[in-house]
Structure 1
């Protein structure tokens, strides 16, 4: 009898265990940089340093309270940047539209030591959207379709040289399918894998398990069919757990068919909080160290958070941003019109 009582006591202890609470109740927003720019690409280095790439040719780093800025021209034209990525030795920025120019900026802390043009592509339909690195040597950037497939360039030597994949090695893009340069987040990487989200007339996810050597494509239930519908952002917490977010830019309040999760590495997607807030968001990120339960989605309408893997959401700020990148489980940087801010999330 005493043994049975002991077992019941132990069982009751375990049954009373509660899951960690990953829900943020508020956010403290502190501007760290203000300028007349549209900033859609940020790359935090630590809690006090963030690089950015913006329109009007502006690239820079905010080091504490100190901004270091540069204007980049191609010929007589100021380039517009919406893609940024980093390795330990360099920052990479990639311009939209024609010509697309990718620069490697050597860095020493918060100082740029040199800048080098490492890739240029010209053409009427050239438009690059986002960029990520798997490791110190291998990186990938994606752009809108040309000749029937997404434009994908890859480096294997630390960003010194980039090669464009041939359409014969990629899934075909359908008419009206493209990618959104909204927040440098329609690419997600984890280990050797990469996922690329599309929008417009189709909203699908391209996937490679071997750093771009082979590709497959998956359907999603995200709203599609018009030029401004589809997936605007994708993120993966691990090899299996991912989220896609977007909606209809022309109807930002629409909250049906705009957010979905996967538990099998992107093969299948299930809508979450369908018909419930939030509506359109341009950037979504898993919160680090939250077991895939903490999520933040931001966009011009505001900041929304989930602590249960996307099942339920709360709006904690109406301040609008384009992009968000986390430094740790409570600190992130966000960028938008005319500013970069540091975000301190609180439970």
Structure 2
């Protein structure tokens, strides 16, 4: 019996510690913050210098898709639906949303906003039709726009119906994951800066994450079973991106939709800009100082890489998980 127990522990340990990131060759130098994984083979990325890329063979080869007229823009988020259809956001003024339906050969501007101070942060879709985009506050209200036709058109939510921001509170366009769907008809977002909060629809909930300065606060929220209306298990990550190895107050978990918060017994090993559930209990988080994995819902984290990544996303249809970051870095999680 003791021998069997020892063998079981050894097999479990080898399985856990075999988790690692496999670098993928891209031959580009862009900084990627947008990442959308359609299935195990179809991956889209977006980032600085107007860079958009696509792989249809699980990252073995990449096609780089220039967007004419946007060579100096930063595409901080991308939402892909298949190997032909994707939407990107150019974050700064003028804020622009573009869509391709031919695999990136051509792009159509589907939304443009020249309002001073406009800065789009992230985009999320419930399904192939219904989507939402969030931007930094304008006149004290977070900017929200909705699409109901697959991103072909966008309608701005009136400011009186948008969440109210505190002074110095905004969103980080760090990984496209500070806004997430919640069930079939709700969305939630996390903010940072002078104040860091969770908003479920328009209802604000304080988060005990580090905050109070422009470079602090929540960057990403991961929701377990986010397709269910009863989902209330959230993991929020962030920190201080100017001190990216700081572990203090960089991650919090709630099991009751934000009523109470739990700090991990073993936190991630620094500032983290993205978190993503791999399965019910396993979750990955990444940032400029490395990548961590938790096998118990975020209560304890283990570092698996010191390479920096901005974003990590799991396949919508499949099991593959990819990461993307600065200097053209793209990786794939092995044995996830």
Which band: TM-score by shorter chain?
0.7 to 0.9
Which runs of no fewer than 5 residues in structure 1 stay unpaired? 1-17, 209-214
Distance 2:138 2:16 in 1: 42
* Residues matched between the structures, number: 316
Between the aligned partners of 1:53 and 1:186, the Cα distance in structure 2 is: 17
Structure 2 vs 1, CA of residues 105 and 167 (structure 1 numbering), >3 Å: closer, same or farther?
Answer: same
Equivalent-residue separation in structure 1 for 2:128 and 2:45 (angstroms): 19
Q: Partners in 2 of 1:330 and 1:72 — Cα distance?
A: 30
Does the aligned pair in 2 maintain the 1:52–1:60 contact within 8 Å?
Answer: yes
Q: Is the 8 A contact 1:330 1:344 kept in 2?
A: no
CA distance change for structure 1 residues 98 and 234 in 2, over 3 Å: closer, same or farther?
same
* Structure-2 residue corresponding to 1:153: 145
| Match of residue 5 from structure 2 | none
State the match for 1:343 in structure 2.
332
Q: Does 1:225 align with 2:220?
A: no
The 5 A counterparts of 1:22-41 are 23=16, 25-41=18-34
Aligned to 1:82: 76
Q: Which structure carries more strand by proportion? A: 1
Q: CA deviation at 1:86?
A: 2.6
- Residue 326 of structure 1: CA displacement? 1.4
Deviation at 1:130, TM superposition (A): 0.8
Query: Could you list the per-position Cα deviations for residues 143-202 of structure 1 after superposition, in whole angstroms to 9, with x for gaps in the alignment?
Result: 111111111111112211101112211231011000001111111113222110100001
Give, in whole Å, the separation in 1 of the partners of 2:300 and 2:71: 46
SS at match of 1:34: coil
- The whole-number CA distance in structure 2 between the counterparts of 1:66 and 1:253 is 33
Cα offset for 1:270?
2.5
CA apart distance, 1:221:
0.6
Of 267, 270, 275, 1:284 maps to 275
TM-score (norm 1): 0.84
CA contact (8 A) 2:38 2:81 kept: no
CA distance in 1, matches of 2:251, 2:90: 28
Match of 1:10 in 2: none
Residue in structure 2 matching 1:298, options 261, 273, 286: 286
Partner residue of 2:96? 101
| C-alpha contact (below 8 Å) 1:32/1:62 kept by paired residues | no
| Alignment correspondent of 2:154 | 162
The CA deviation at 1:77 is 6.1
Instruction: Identify the residue that residue 129 of structure 1 maps to in structure 2.
Output: 121
SS at match of 1:338: coil
Residues 60-92 of structure 1, C-alpha deviation per residue, up to 9 Å, x if partnerless?
Answer: 212323322222244x86321101113357210
1:50-65 aligned at under 5 Å gives the runs: 50-64=43-57, 65=60
Farther-moved stretch of structure 1 (306-315 vs 333-342):
333-342
TM-score, with normalisation over the residues of structure 2? 0.87
**CA deviation after TM superposition for structure 1 residue 242, in Å:** 1.0
Q: Indicate the SS of the match to 1:168.
A: helix
Partner Cα distance (1:32, 1:332) in 2? 16
For residue 57 of structure 1, report the CA deviation from its aligned partner: 1.1
1:188 matches 2:170: no
Deviates more, 1:263-272 or 1:151-160: 263-272
Aligned to 1:211: none
Taking only aligned residues, the RMSD between alpha carbons, in angstroms, comes to 2.4
